[in-house]
Structure 1
Amino acid sequence: MNTRTWSIARFPQEGANAFAVLLWLGYFLLIVGITVVVSMTGTVGESIWGNATTLPRWFAWGTGLWLTGSYLRLHVAHGSTRREFLQRSTVYLVAFAILLGCLITLGFLLEWALYAATGLRHPLATEPAALVTQILPTYILIFGVWSAVGTLVAAGYRRLAGTGLLITIPVGVATVVLTEDALDTRYLGKWIGFDLSLIGSLPVGVAIGVAGFLVALAGTWALCRDVAVPGTGV
């Protein structure tokens, strides 16, 4: 592996981003099918695509977990330093969050068009432009935080085994809850009665989301900076 030049399109493994797009396409077609069936047999009172964003969240988390858990050792074994790997991982997670955020937003826009074609009003917005301004920054940050938390948990386990999980999982859950509620999704906070959505400000929510992403990455860097990588001798 060349440690001086690299391509985000081939990091951490060639085809990873194309695989994410293909998964999105299959998942979206499934949700479209469900939407059509529901609209034909009953009343669509909410965004079905919005309710289907749970799985992409966990996909983002799993990607972060997989990135640090599986590829740190591989890249170090092929000549990269831990610092180089972490730098590339940071760039990759930002690009990955933007990619997923754009795909989710595209899903909402296609759902809006489907609703409009069948004479239904989309419950989140009357105009597609409003969907973009509301959904895109929100989901870019959500996926960024979930994936960064995944890297944090993997780094905690790699560095401290079970103790690392006891530390990083609560930190990760708190980071996700703060971000989701600050962005007014209440994805996890509603189950524990936690609510920051009263702030009612997208810029404040974005600031909290960026802070959560940076905190998770800082924890990952701290844990991986000099962690032993079995089988590499370094």
Structure 2
Amino acid sequence: MRFPSRLLAANLFFAGMVWAAFYVVTTLITVAIAVFGTLTHSVWEGATQVPRWFALFVGVAMIREFLPLYIAHGQTRRQFGAQAAVTIALYAPALSALLVLGYLLETLLYNVAGWPQELARAHLFASPTDVPLVFLEYLVEFLAWIVAGTFMAAAFYRWQGGGLLSIPPGVGLILLGEAAIGTELQLPFIQIPLDVTSTPAVLTALAGGIGCFLLGLAMTWSIIRDVPLRNRLA
């Protein structure tokens, strides 16, 4: 069983299908707002709150589903850890590229229809067409959310109910990533503003994303390095 190429390809294919459906739904909502109300802002901007949760559960699946599968097929835990890191490092920018594409397609639609594509909150980028900064912002965000998912999933896989203790440091990883891009964290019923007085520098944001990525991997590895395989029926 080849890893990470097969796992990466399967997840990228699934992400592409989810993105296509997500884009269609978002576009329909955009048109509905324009027809039945007043459209003044980028709808895609608000919709991008959802993909971060998708990224989180990709991290969860990496441990919950694929760790026992690949170890059972002959991978060592060290091999899995190294190859999972490669998968995440390639998967996060792929997700970021899909969000960039969503912004560009929205820009095309708004220009054709004559709608204003204003942004409702602070970002690294000032315009949805500022591709490098749009890509960087969501890359940092996805790296943080995916490794938070792997860390918390590893804790729950190893200690079951004891994994609840991993939630605060897992949220801390997410906060670190969001703070690196100077945005805000929106959780169910909770909104945590992390806006800074000025837009973070590109190198600051990138360093924050890489640091969060490496920290999350180290925290996950400390749990899975000798984790016993569990009976899936347990």
Give the structure 1 partner of residue 175 of structure 2. 177
2:192 and 2:150 mapped to 1: Cα distance? 27
2:222 and 2:15 mapped to 1: Cα distance? 28
Give the structure 1 partner of residue 227 of structure 2. 227
1:34-73 mapped onto 2 (5 Å cutoff): 34-73=29-68
Note the alpha carbon deviations across 1:56-114, whole angstroms, 9 max, x for none.
11111001101111111111111010011111111111111111100011001111111
Give the structure 2 partner of residue 138 of structure 1. 137
Note the alpha carbon deviations across 1:149-168, whole angstroms, 9 max, x for none.
100001111222222331x2
1:19-30 mapped onto 2 (5 Å cutoff): 19-30=14-25
Backbone CA RMSD of aligned residues: 2.3
Note the alpha carbon deviations across 1:174-199, whole angstroms, 9 max, x for none.
12122213312213399465535225
Note the alpha carbon deviations across 1:31-59, whole angstroms, 9 max, x for none.
01111111222222221111111221111
Report the TM-score, using the length of structure 2 for normalisation: 0.87
1:81 aligns with 2:76: yes
Per-residue deviation, 1:119: 1.2
Is contact 1:186–1:197 with CA below 8 Å preserved after alignment?
no
Report the TM-score, using the length of structure 1 for normalisation: 0.87
Per-residue deviation, 1:214: 1.3
Is contact 1:9–1:17 with CA below 8 Å preserved after alignment?
no
1:179 and 1:128 mapped to 2: Cα distance? 20
Moved more, 201-210 or 54-63: 201-210
Partner residue of 2:13 out of 10, 14, 18: 18
1:126 and 1:186 mapped to 2: Cα distance? 16
SS in 1 for 2:184: coil
1:126 and 1:73 mapped to 2: Cα distance? 44
1:109-188 mapped onto 2 (5 Å cutoff): 109-124=104-119, 129-130=129-130, 132-166=131-165, 168-188=166-186
SS in 2 for 1:187: strand
Q: Quickly say closer, same or farther: Cα 1:152–1:126, change in 2 above 3 A.
A: closer
2:167 and 2:5 mapped to 1: Cα distance? 30
Structure 1 residues not aligned, in runs of 5+: none
State the aligned residue count.
Answer: 225
2:49 and 2:192 mapped to 1: Cα distance? 19
Moved more, 39-48 or 116-125: 116-125
